[in-house]
Amino acid sequence: MISSRANNSRERNTTTKTFFNFTYKKYRFHFGIYIPCSQQHPHSTFYDSREHCQVPSPFVMSQCRRACVMHQSIFFHNENLNNVRKYGRQNPTLPATSMVNDKRSHANLLHDRWNCRWKKDVISHRLGISYKESYLARSKGSVIHHANKHMYRKWLDTFSIQRSKNVKTAKAQEIRFRRACRRTFHAKGHNKLDTMRHRLITAQRYRFLFLPSQYIYKPIKHLHYTHGLDYPDYGFKIPINQDITSQKDVVVHTVEQYNPVPAGFFPSKYKDIIPKEPLYTSAGDFIIPGSRQWFTRMYQLDLA
């Protein structure tokens, strides 16, 4: 592993330790592989500047970079790689040009991602979940009506459970996900009735996904319409560049609207007690109208 890291030519700042330690009863054991520092000594009366340091290095990096404790400050100042992230791993449709780390470059990059409908698959191996992440621009009507100056919002949706094939790892992922649910739904501001509607409100507040049918809007807080919508030049690209017109937001349904009445046959006595809102199980699973679980819930409501 150490040899693989040292001989790797990738431009990364990932380190690999050259030692390991463990405790047995009252004793602490340290084992390591001797890899000399190989940094030149600074000009001093105690060392010859032409000689290389032979003190063991506690880590190695790609391209055989390493340094001992005495030379780490100089090493990380001179040999640490900066701006090593590749554009090809972010989005192949964006131009592979060097990016300056300032507000204008970040705003233009965000605008390009929104304009080309960029999407990112986010996978958490710790929780065993995945979801999609994309950007949405605020419409003029939304900015004017809600008096909210944020230019963009992050849209999180398509939540799914992706457990590991390893039984032990999958069990640990399930425990961590349940712990995250308890921490979110036992927060101070959560309603004590703990209905599904209250859970969705709390999940939106804490930006927490736990249902496949759920989606979350998260505002991008570092880009605002600080000079108004009609300001000619912000210094970077903005999603709104036409004249201000007060228009109502048009709701575009990406999926079929929810119909609480099942398509098949059902007893006429259930017609007046069918809830208009979607039904969920105690585990948070959606109950399809006309299914066996749906008839069980209607039977319980009829008895009540």
Residues with Cβ within 8 Å of residue 123, at least 6 apart in sequence: 129, 130, 162
- As a whole number of angstroms, the distance between CA 224 and CA 183 comes to 32
* Tokens describing residue 106: 């970040």
Averaged pLDDT in 10-residue chunks for the chain of 304 residues: 82 86 90 86 60 87 88 82 54 54 84 90 93 87 76 90 93 94 86 83 90 89 80 79 49 66 79 81 80 84 79
* Tokens describing residue 38: 């190989």
Predicted local confidence at residue 245, as pLDDT: 43
Helix residue ranges per DSSP H, 161-215: 167-185, 196-205
Are 154 and 163 in contact by the 8 Å Cβ rule? The answer is no
Backbone angles phi, psi at 110, to 5 degrees: -65, -40
Predicted local confidence at residue 252, as pLDDT: 59
Predicted local confidence at residue 255, as pLDDT: 57
Predicted local confidence at residue 234, as pLDDT: 81
Predicted local confidence at residue 168, as pLDDT: 94
Residue written as token pair 């150490």:
2
- As a whole number of angstroms, the distance between CA 234 and CA 271 comes to 57
Residue 32 bridge partners (DSSP): 19
Question: What are the sequence ranges of the domains in the chain?
Answer: 2-78, 101-219, 268-303
Predicted local confidence at residue 30, as pLDDT: 87
Predicted local confidence at residue 251, as pLDDT: 63
Are 111 and 238 in contact by the 8 Å Cβ rule? The answer is yes
